[in-house]
Amino acid sequence: MKKIYILILFIASSLAAFAQNGRVTGQILSSDGQPAEQVSIGIKGSSKGAVSDTQGKFTIERIKAGSYVLLVSYVGSETLERSVDIVAGETATISFTLSESATQFQEVIVRGGNLYKNDQLSPSLKLMTPILETPQNVQVVTSKVLSDQQIISMSDGLIRNVSGATRLEHWGDMYANISMRGSQIQAFRNGFNVVNSFWGPLTEDMSFVDHIEFVKGPAGFMLANGDPSGLYNVVTKKPTGETKGEASFTMGSFDLYRTTLDLDGKLTKDGKFLYRLNLAGQNKGSFRPFEYNNRYSVAPVITYQIDEKTKLTAEYTLQYAKMTDVGSFYVFSPGGYATLPRDFTLMPPGLSPTKIKDNSLFVNLQHQINPDWKLTAQLAYLNYKMAGSSMWPWMINADGTMQRGVGLWDAKSEMTLGQVFVNGKITTGGVVHRLLGGIDVGTKEYFADWSQSHALDTLGGLFNPKNPVYGTPNNGYPVFDRSLNLEARAVGAGGLMDQKYTGLYLQDELGFLDNKIRLTIAGRYTHLSQAQWGAAPDKADHFTPRLGLSVSIDKSTSVYALYDQAFLPQSGRLTSGKKVRPVTGNNTEFGFKRDWAEGRWNTTLSFYRILKNNELTGDPTRPSSGFSVELGQKRAQGVEFDVRGSLLPGLNLTANYAFTKSEVTKVTEGVIVAKVGDPIPGFAKHTANGWLSYKVQNGALKGTGISGGFTYLGNRATSTWSDTDNTYNLPDYFKLDGGVFWEKDKIRLTLNVFNILDKYLYSGGTYGFNTADGDPVTSYYWQAEAPRNYRLSLAYKF
């Protein structure tokens, strides 16, 4: 607590100082009065500048008294100029109105092609610092990228756009489970951590998603009680103030039929009451027989401008999914990976489907106290219900014959979350302070019933993958008892998870030498109570400091260094009788960021090391006792490089490479599940991705384009612990995709072909089973990806 008090006293003393310079603030509007985002504002003859936010607002700090000329520019348009006088200790306010309407302004940006790159973080990430000046590796997957690559959900090839991101277990289109920097990263939506178990949340449909932000490494301003590898933040679509709409229809291989509708407009003539409505529905089959994933989503949003300084936004999202048993994606064979046909399945056609209903409600209130201070308060309620099952073999013989099993998987997740935070700016002497402070509270409950299971095959009628017979299993289909409510059944199954937390955080970013040098000093204090698997709650209080340094070499180039921490409480009983300590993670990171060609594209190069301590594993001296020992220490370190943006008019690129070395560095005496030097399960040492798109700008073929991309994973570990001779490791992975498109006026036609080379692609690991005679056998298991397939989309804007 002393550290928090010191930090509070430091910032409080800064508030008493007197500003010696002036500043200029204002707003950029389109000709029809709508906010113009991502417009550059600079001072002629100076490196000082800013970029307008989602409300078209900007502020330039630390300007010496005098007369200046402001320059306003954006891609594809002429630069505007306006004179302004700066007085020491005062704020000059000036606004610009563009000659283009909101629609025309958007068309100018589209023609400029700079839609693969974002310069600002969303307000839901709390920071007001531009990405170029943020001392951390942050990557944004924009809506244009989602559209060009025909990404329809979080699990649909999205991670190719971020260096080092992989998926450990695919789980079909049920859960994203994205991993990066040595661990599974946390899932956020609109600034809230929506993880309530290892398996969730349900993948977001892209129909209501605007863009996704990936924050690599810990981020104390967002998260302390989570894995230090990072997070992704799904930012949903909000009303823009324009009256517009878009309808699309997509069809593709394996009976994919999908339609979406996006309506955006005003509920009142004065524009104070706005709405956004996104609808989507799809039927989606599979290259495997008997497999499907049908979904629909409804996402209305309303925004009310209470007064000039206060805005209220409320959004509701319903997602419904009806899909085959999640185990249908898995294939098992003692003979090795890919030893069965790519379209092979263990799935009997009559098994009951899994049904998921996901409801979420977000309410956000923003109040601009004055040009320098802003208050944000937001609430979220999420309710998720699942009724289904999970297939997994009960027994496998050395010849591959097996007894298939089905286990009940009913679950319910309920979360109530709240945040209040303040962003502000003050000047003390020659130092500009960007301040952030707030409180983060939440209650999460997860109930699951795995207590019932059923064998599909009798021991005298085992399933033979080499000669499969589908139809009604000889032991019949399961009939699960759901007479008790889920909460009562979860108690008996041990499927209870409960978490309550309160976090206080405070951050000061100090800008020196006209903000060319930025020092971040921050800390978060978190109190957390957590219970898992029916055990008694474990409580933890932890302070996580954050220290960052960002230096602008020039207006387009910055270097940074970061030290940040996170912690993850865990439940269990130690053999020693001592209190279970939370998993702690320390991240040290250095990086280089640069905007090129007047900001049309940028690059990020980062070097990092993450240490994780205190993680529990079963006590090897007391098997099946329920007691644990601390595993030791894990380390993830590597290099990441990302490039994204518009290289030339019409030529857009997103590409990345990551070298990841993730291994066990310390092992507690007696632990046999891992040893020093073992790779962390499920990670590729080398990952490389690229996506290049070109649209003809002039001539008879104007609006016609071609695009293509690849994914490469090299030196892959399995999803389970690998042995020293790499017997079970996975082969390298290479996937090639590409397509063509055509745009004219309000119509866009897109055709993409995925897995062009038609390779047998998969991920997986190994699992130990017993044979019918009780002998141990190791079986390979894998999840195959689709063979060559296509998607054709028609979109119409109105």
Instruction: Read off the pLDDT of residues 247-306 as tens digits, 9 standing for 90 and up.
Output: 999 999 999 999 999 999 999 988 899 999 999 999 999 999 999 999 999 999 999 999
Main-chain phi, psi angles of 106, to 5 degrees = -65, -40
Identify the CATH assignment for 244-448+459-580+588-608+639-660+679-797 out of 3.40.50.970, 2.40.128.720, 2.40.170.20, 1.10.1370.30. Answer: 2.40.170.20
pLDDT at 11: 42
pLDDT at 104: 60
DSSP designation for 46 = S
pLDDT at 15: 39
Q: Which of 86, 80, 113 is nearest to 99 (CA)?
A: 80
Q: Give the integer Cα–Cα distance in Å for 372 and 364.
A: 20
Q: Which of 141, 114, 118 is nearest to 131 (CA)?
A: 118
- Lookup result for tokens 């891609």: 75
Q: Which of 779, 784, 782, 720 is nearest to 402 (CA)?
A: 779
- Taking 50 as the pLDDT cut, the residues of the chain under it are 1-19, 110-113, 722-724
Contacts of 479 (CB under 8 A, 6+ apart): 454
Main-chain phi, psi angles of 627, to 5 degrees = -90, 155
Q: Give the integer Cα–Cα distance in Å for 695 and 129.
A: 32
For residue 746, count other CB atoms closer than 10 A to its CB.
Answer: 11
DSSP designation for 416 = E
Q: Which of 229, 154, 218 is nearest to 184 (CA)?
A: 229
DSSP designation for 486 = H
Cβ pair 152, 282 in contact under 8 A: yes
- Lookup result for tokens 């892959």: 716
For residue 700, count other CB atoms closer than 10 A to its CB.
Answer: 6
What is the token pair recorded at 725? 């001779």
- Size of the chain, expressed as the number of residues it contains: 798
Contacts of 514 (CB under 8 A, 6+ apart): 47, 48, 62
DSSP element (H, E) containing 274: strand 273-283
Per-domain residue ranges of the chain: 2-100, 244-448+459-580+588-608+639-660+679-797
* 549-558 residue pLDDT tens: 999 999 899 9
Tell me the CA distances in angstroms from 189 to 237, 272, 451, 730, one per residue in order: 11, 25, 31, 33
pLDDT at 20: 62
Contacts of 727 (CB under 8 A, 6+ apart): none
Q: Give the integer Cα–Cα distance in Å for 506 and 423.
A: 10
pLDDT at 127: 87
Cβ pair 526, 544 in contact under 8 A: yes
Query: Quick one: fold of 2-100?
Result: Immunoglobulin-like (2.60.40)
Is there a common fold for 2-100 and 244-448+459-580+588-608+639-660+679-797? no
> Distance between the two ends of the chain, CA-based, in angstroms?
56
pLDDT at 18: 34
β-pairing, 49-51 vs 40-43, is antiparallel
SS (H, E, C) 332-365: EECCCCCCCCCCCCCCCCCCCCEEEEEEEEEEEE
pLDDT at 112: 43
3-class SS at 487? helix
Q: Give the integer Cα–Cα distance in Å for 332 and 465.
A: 9
Q: What angle do CA 679, 682, 688 make, to 5 degrees?
A: 100
DSSP strands (E only) in 614-732: 616-618, 627-630, 632-648, 651-667, 684-695, 704-716
Cis status of the peptide bond prior to 468, with omega within 30 of 0: no
Q: Give the integer Cα–Cα distance in Å for 770 and 661.
A: 34
| Dihedral class, residue 687 (left if φ above 0, else alpha if ψ from -120 to 50, else beta) | beta
